[in-house]
Amino acid sequence: MAKRSVLFYRDFERYSGGHQKVFDYFSHLNASDDYRPEISFSRRSQENSLNPWLPDYVGVDFRPREYDYLFLAGMGWNVYSKECIDPEKPVINLIQHVRHALEGENVYPFLKNRAIRICVSPEVESAIKTLANGPVITIANGIDIPQVKAEKIHEVYIAGQKNLEMAKALKDRVDAVIQTEFLSRSEFIMQLAAAKIAVVLPHPTEGFFLPALEAMKLAHIVIVPDCIGNRSFCKDAEKKDGNCLMPSYDIEGIVSAIQTAKEILSDKSRLSQLQNNALKTVKYHSISRERREFLNLMSQIDELWYAA
């Protein structure tokens, strides 16, 4: 049987977790014997050295009528709306943020377009379910985190590129390595691996927040405030299944959490429980589990599309 073709589209301005996740879904299909994914790029995407598709995958023209399925995410709907689309061809839409449900956001109007939507967390599904045109399914994010051995040279490392104002304010309150510049993923991974305590600052709202999982695997203790999309997998240390510290998202809350984390470092029993729970969380959120769930969904795409 001929492989089913799937067209992706990306406007790749700079590397981000969102682009990486779309690439993961592309890779899921590419690893299957049943599908043939191809990628169409905006012009500027071809020139970015951090583009994960390059140099292995050459961009094709955006001609969705020539494919069995179309895969879109984020602002990709802009190119879709300019084309005459065959309504019989299923559209798969990856939703990576709760902001899709906020009226006034640039992605909000796209929810009226018919699609089969994959949400990266239960929180995202809850936000958009009553607004979306078509089926809404959650496939919790998976991630492939390399095993890195590094000397723990940072007692406290603060990843602050998503909240520069707070990161800069923390400089006056804590003794820590504070990162405010964008790093490549490999550089970021090495910084986390060198940290005893990793403070990862999300945007106030996220759809998931993958750096929390990376920190859970690589650092001894993780501090991450609530950002909505991390509630399903980030559990405060005070709970039985706690895997991190989740302070209030303010200076005093984070400073207090850093002090608590230092105390946990000297409590072997408490530290061990926190680390074991963190590694269980990371294990569940594997890229292989995400792949299985997505390919299972793909086997039902036609049925879902015609039933919607």
* pLDDT tens readout for residues 220-265: 999 999 999 999 999 999 998 999 999 999 999 999 999 999 999 9
- Sort 113 into a burial class: Cβ within 10 Å, 0-12 / 13-18 / 19+: middle
Predicted TM-score of the model (pTM): 0.93
Q: Which CATH number applies to 154-284: 3.40.50.300, 3.40.50.1370, 3.40.50.2000, 3.40.50.10860?
A: 3.40.50.2000
Strands of the chain, DSSP E: 4-10, 35-41, 69-73, 91-95, 116-119, 136-138, 154-159, 177-179, 195-200, 221-223
Domain ranges of the chain: 4-142+287-307, 154-284
CA 150-190-282 angle, 5° bins: 90
pLDDT at 291: 98
Phi and psi at 19, nearest 5°, equal -65, -40
Q: Is 178 left (phi over 0), alpha (psi -120 to 50) or beta?
A: beta
CB 88 within 8 Å of CB 109: no
Which 8-state DSSP code applies to residue 298? Answer: H
Written out in words, the top-level CATH class of the domain with range 4-142+287-307 is alpha beta
Tokens of 194: 């060198």
- Res 46: pLDDT: 60
pLDDT band at 3 (very low <50, low <70, confident <90, very high): very high
Work out whether the CA dihedral 243, 98, 181, 56 comes out positive or negative.
Answer: positive
Mean pLDDT rounded to a whole number for the chain: 94
* DSSP class of 1: -
Q: Same CATH fold, 154-284 and 4-142+287-307?
A: yes
